[in-house]
Structure 1
């Protein structure tokens, strides 16, 4: 039976296309010839790039240590991603024997629970082992893992491009990617998360695909197939996104096919891959494609946002939002010309070296998804741009030094080896000197140390059976620090429960009381059933807002934090409204006037607010001290905009509110601390960082 590849190769159209392709790419396709010293030079350069990346992140930590009040609570370093607290909590649970794979984790979605990862996240497993071996506390151990996790991908990148015949591309791609704003920001100190490891595993998998494809011996083919499968197995445990298993299987099979491996060898290598990467996971990955596309591709008919009965939470998450072209440029190389050159060079590299570049297809594809989906994918676009700039360097070095190589034929191999490296150093020097990277960036904590102090105080002073009702962002951190369950978190924010809590924070104090009691009594499952029965949003909202049975237990504590002021527009959007708290800073002027930023002036005597030549009559002006109402000035307009003044250095932090905003539970309980005693009892106040209330039991509620 004839090989289909031989039949295709004899096709005249294919032959004509191949001839044209080869003649065109001949001007761009000239990998480096390796000298006996080239690997040593390459190895030194790769290790140097790796340790530069590691050291830069430790430099960030040194800045933290010099400013402990901003970055540490007592001896605990803050994290720069809230997901870090999930992995730290799981590490503690693993060591305590409390982690139950696939069991119900009610702590981050109380009272229903969501499944624990099965198996436990590899990041948590490693942290638990490091804690046991070194005795270093979980938080400092996690911090010290970050520089290495964020830098290991450089070694895989360098090895890949060395094997492909372009060693200088590896150095350029590694250094430009590790200090690109999007990647550096997602792998900076305190960012104990999967991003750095993800890049490492993807490039390592691509490396093994290329190594297997180029193998001349069957033994090496099978060894590299097993290495690829084990890499994907580890990646599944690390990231828990099984779709990559299927993607790399397809890329692997295609690469073996175009490298002309025998069909039986392709079949056996594929079988080895499936077995070593876990056959059950491979089968499950077949159904994972539709789920991932439903989240990230907005125009598909099964997109979750368009099919959700309530506003889609991912529309309010900045890193999940689509980016403009200028935003993508700033995320990557921060220069439009270099961005276009790099993108063009990346496409040229892939086109001119299709067989060598095909194993990178998953990374390249995710990079290009940036243009139609989330800006977070820009971290995968940066290697494309960096490799593209490096490839242009290769093309330039080839033509610049071609005559020199002919003149010194005996040394041409050395010239071809070191010329690209020399130009690479010049390129990197220019880019770093022009400050087109994020090299000097120092990340801020995700939680203010004063807010963290309040959370720690809650852990020490609230009853052991407490549950915390708050917005989802800090949920994972609260559960980790206090051990108390939260009603939703960063692992469950895409459920309708987030809409339910948003409704409670934007509604009246009575609605907050009713909805929080309803959720605590298991109302979420009833809401799910009502939506399945095609009940309208208004009908469901009415059911939970009118729930009058109160809480079943005396254990609900509501936490408001300062960050919720800025996030209120997102909370309001998810509740089905479109309101935001306008924040400005005002200083006393002449004639009873407050002069504010954003071209806003307020006449305290008449209550007239002027914004960009537009006059708005206020109904109230309220003065607070430490978040408590101390004085109120009312005006002739009974229902209108109100202003809250919070004294600060040289003026007032000023909040401008619509009538409905003023009556919301968030404004009343946080900005004014004006609790209705019928519903809530103040417990802690560390204003402006946070305020805690207890939801009154039904017996106390009935006394009013």
Structure 2
């Protein structure tokens, strides 16, 4: 008993050390910007991930008890519910809770890491692995202070799952059966996309059982409980099935039914559509297409959003290795160490699903690297403790572990010190949205690119057409069209898309049973518009927006949010509507070049990229070709935030315009199509058709207009 108590004390001590270390490193960002007011609103730091505002909106609405119809607020999602609970019971402001939740919850990963090491009788390895995993580049990036997202438990929960599976197989104790099932239930509640990883664990255990341990009935109990926790039913049904099966498994007299329950669980998994989400994820991240064809009657083609998401793109090996272990050398040693560890302790092969998902980053995008971090941290830690084992004295062993641990931790600590990410919006931008809330009603829509959807909903309490979770090519097309086309067509599309969106919501609610039973097709807004206005070719319908047409009856106000920061992503925005919807062919990208890095030498301005602006001759050189410019525009804001612009005409027959935004020290080079787009005209130049729009907000950070039709 004394030995057990001592071992437990060491375990608790190591957990405390690793946890406090993880928290302390995450506070570096807080102290770096403690006096930087642009990152604060109402005296408190804002969060630094867009998706965080989605969960914050849901938690806010849960606490207030108010959520308007079809506002897409995630009041039924775990992250919002847990946040609301913490905000309700803790004596801190809501902003403080969402800022620090990633710090506390993300640091919990050290617990299962040390407990797994304890099962291998190597707690020192657990401590080193916990220190490394808790601050490794990708894990830190997605659990740092202010990164308020599901990632704060997305690795913690599968690591607890790995711990419970290891102990279940090692001990064959009933308690680990229910712990494993409960972990899967919680993981699925927290992160519905967890099925792929859960299924991988299941498959690995099944393979092990069939090859090496076929006669061990305990393994089939474990597998069936895992499967029952994973089937595609509602959470409460899965929970009841798990409890019922576990009760049966605790009674030895029912052992003869184990294989039947196992078979039934597999049948339920596949008949309930359990494998469909797994296949959907593979298609979305591995088998990617730039253009996706719709399933509607006209077979429309839309640009795939996955092509524009950085975290879903392929990455170089060095970045891949650095994100997992902090340095290429550490990564290589971690892989070698894990192979050696698995050779010595075959039970660690159960960590392969996490490594495999992490390595998917090489083809599926950097977001997956986070999964490989904790398991490969065991590899580096094992090599360190093995090296120390050969030292002749305890002092040398301690010094060896310390020195080598610092060596692998140093690159990650350096990364943290240099990783000075900004908040999603600046204080001035948020002040605009907070004030705008007084103008807009909760049922009003604000049209903006999806990057700004969640913050708009959180700070202005309005509806949006697209956001960080609703941004497929189908829904992005109309918004892209609005932002990148001339004012009249954009204004009409704004009214059409909002009213058709609400119309679709209403249709789904009134015909829920019909849609489910008859598999009724719901066309995209663009498809339905085309049909309703009597066209069979969507291109013809889009052209008709330039002429007279009867618009749907106005049901609410519509606003356009045009932030200055969108100049950096305009080419990406434009891509989604630069496609022939009927054929899927991508049109030639228009001329668009933005730069803040330029150099002036007398009458010559070097804009970078080989682009040269000759002020005296009013010419521009692009790709070694020199042509006259059509116009030069300079915009600025004075100290009172009053906007002004000066337009100097050049050669009217040319196509290139240069815009210099003095207050932002930014040059834009655009062709005539881009110059006439809604974003450039309203958002950059403040030039708008007063029969179509009304200016509501005009600041250096953003402009907001109300649609008048």
1:439 aligns with 2:416: yes
- 1:646 and 2:614 equivalent? no
Q: Out of 670, 691, 694, which is 2:706 matched to?
A: 694
Q: Does 1:192 align with 2:148?
A: yes
The 1:617/1:176 distance shift into structure 2, 3 A limit, reads farther
Determine whether 1:468 maps to 2:446: yes
Structure 2 residues not aligned, in runs of 5+:
235-268, 295-300, 505-521, 579-586
Distance 1:536 1:206, change over 3 A: farther
Residue 470 of structure 2 aligns to a residue whose secondary structure is: coil
Q: Which residue of 1 aligns with 2:305?
A: 313
Return the match for 1:391 from 382, 391, 411. 382
Structure 1 residue aligned with 2:570: 568
CA shift, 1:579, in A, is 4.0
Name the CA distance, whole Å, in 1 between partners of 2:557 and 2:575. Answer: 29
Could you tell which deviates more after superposition, 513-522 or 575-584?
575-584
User: CA–CA distance in 2 between the matches of 1:323 and 1:341?
Assistant: 20
Contact 1:342 1:388 in 2 (8 A): yes
CA distance 1:544–1:151, shift in 2 (3 Å): farther
Question: What is the Cα deviation at residue 42 of structure 1?
Answer: 4.6
Per-residue CA shift, 1:60-87, capped at 9, x if unaligned?
22334322x1211113431111111111
Partner in structure 2 of residue 13 of structure 1: none
Q: How does 1:204-219 map to 2 (within 5 A)?
A: 204-216=160-172
Query: Which residue number in structure 1 is paired with residue 557 of structure 2?
Result: 555
Q: Select 1:607's aligned residue among 618, 639, 647.
A: 618
User: Which of 513, 519, 522 matches 2:497?
Assistant: 519
- Give, in whole Å, the separation in 1 of the partners of 2:16 and 2:538: 58
Identify the range of structure 1 (608-617 vs 565-574) with the bigger mean alpha-carbon deviation.
608-617
CA apart distance, 1:544: 6.5
Quote the offset at 1:363 in angstroms. 0.8
Alpha-carbon distance change, 319 to 276 in structure 1, aligned in 2, over 3 angstroms: closer
Give the distance between the partners of 1:669 and 1:497, measured in 2 at CA.
Answer: 22
Please tell me whether residue 235 in structure 1 is matched to residue 226 in structure 2.
no
1:668 aligns with 2:681: yes
Deviates more, 1:496-505 or 1:323-332: 323-332
Give the match for residue 150 of structure 1: 106
Q: How far apart are 1:367 and its partner, in Å? A: 0.9
For residue 678 of structure 1, give the secondary structure of its aligned residue in structure 2. coil
Which residue pairs with 1:86 in the alignment? Answer: 54
2:527 pairs with 1:530: yes
Q: CA deviation at 1:609?
A: 2.3
1:657-677 CA distance string (max 9 Å, x none)? 122111111111111111012
Match of 1:657 in 2: 670
Give the Cα separation in 2 of the matches to 1:45 and 1:323: 35
Per the normalisation by structure 2, the TM-score is 0.80
Counterpart Cα distance in 2 of 1:277 and 1:215: 23
Spell out, residue by residue over 1:491-543, the C-alpha distance to the aligned partner (whole angstroms, 9 max, x if none).
Answer: 21125011121122111111211211110120676536839999766356446
1:174 is displaced (CA, Å) by 2.3
Whether 1:338 aligns to 2:330 is yes
- State the Cα distance separating 1:613 from its structure 2 match: 5.4
SS in 2 for 1:192: coil
Aligned to 1:376: 367
Q: Which residue number in structure 1 is paired with residue 400 of structure 2?
A: 423
Change (3 A) 1:427 1:98: same
Aligned twin of 1:289: 278
Q: Give the distance between the partners of 1:173 and 1:580, measured in 2 at CA.
A: 50
Q: Does 1:164 align with 2:164?
A: no
Query: Contact 2:285/2:306 (CA < 8 Å) preserved in 1?
Result: no
The aligned counterpart of 1:177 is 133
Cα root mean square deviation, aligned:
3.2
8 Å CA contact 1:131–1:141 kept in 2: the answer is yes
Residue of structure 1 equivalent to 2:245? none
Does the residue aligned with 1:594 lie in a helix, a strand or coil? strand
Q: Identify if the C-alpha distance between structure 1 residues 422 and 258 changes in structure 2 by more than 3 Å, giving closer, same or farther.
A: farther
CA distance in 2, matches of 1:419, 1:236: 46
Would the aligned equivalents of 2:634 and 2:659 in 1 still touch at CA under 8 Å?
A: yes
Q: Secondary structure at the match of 1:461?
A: coil
TM-score (structure 1 length as normaliser): 0.81
Q: CA, structure 1 residues 275+298, in 2 after alignment: closer, same or farther (shift >3 Å)?
A: closer
Q: Which residue of 1 aligns with 2:649?
A: 634
On the 8 A contact 2:303/2:473 being kept in 1, the answer is no
Deviation sequence 1:609-665 (CA, Å, 0-9, x none): 24675534311111112395522222235222111112248xx42111122111111
- SS of 1:66's partner is coil
CA distance in structure 1 between the aligned counterparts of 2:548 and 2:454, rounded to whole angstroms: 28
Distance 1:547 1:239 in 2: 48
**Distance of aligned partners of 1:491 and 1:544 in 2 relative to their CA distance in 1, 3 Å threshold:** farther
Unaligned runs of 5+ in 1: 1-33, 109-115, 406-414, 698-704
Q: How far 1:191 sits from its partner (Å)?
A: 0.8
1:480 equivalent in alignment to 2:433: no
| Whole-angstrom CA distance in 2 between matches of 1:138 and 1:678 | 42
Query: How far apart in 2 are the matches of 1:83 and 1:502?
Result: 21
Deviates more, 1:332-341 or 1:592-601: 592-601
Counterpart CA distance in 2 for 1:206 and 1:567 is: 41
| Residue of structure 2 equivalent to 1:621 | 632
Instruction: For residue 305 of structure 1, report the CA deviation from its aligned partner.
Output: 5.4
| Residue aligned with 2:705, SS | strand
Of the structure 1 ranges 267-276 and 337-346, higher mean CA displacement relative to structure 2 is found in 267-276
C-alpha change, 1:332 and 1:215, in structure 2 (3 Å) is: closer
SS of 1:675 mapped into structure 2: coil
Residue 142 of structure 1 deviates from its aligned partner by 1.3
Is the 1:122–1:237 Cα contact (8 Å) retained in structure 2?
A: yes
Alpha-carbon distance, 1:124 to partner: 1.7
Please give the secondary structure, in 2, of the residue aligned with 1:159: helix
Question: Take 2:646 and 2:359, find their aligned partners in 1: how far apart are those partners?
Answer: 56
Q: For residue 13 of structure 2, what is the aligned residue in structure 1?
A: 44
Structure 2 CA distance for partners of 1:620 and 1:235, relative to 1, 3 Å: same
Match in the other structure for 1:358: 349
Query: 1:510 aligned to 488, 505, 520, which one?
Result: 488
Deviates more, 1:608-617 or 1:141-150: 608-617
User: 1:679 maps to what in 2?
Assistant: 692
Q: 1:643 to 1:239 in 2, by over 3 A?
A: same
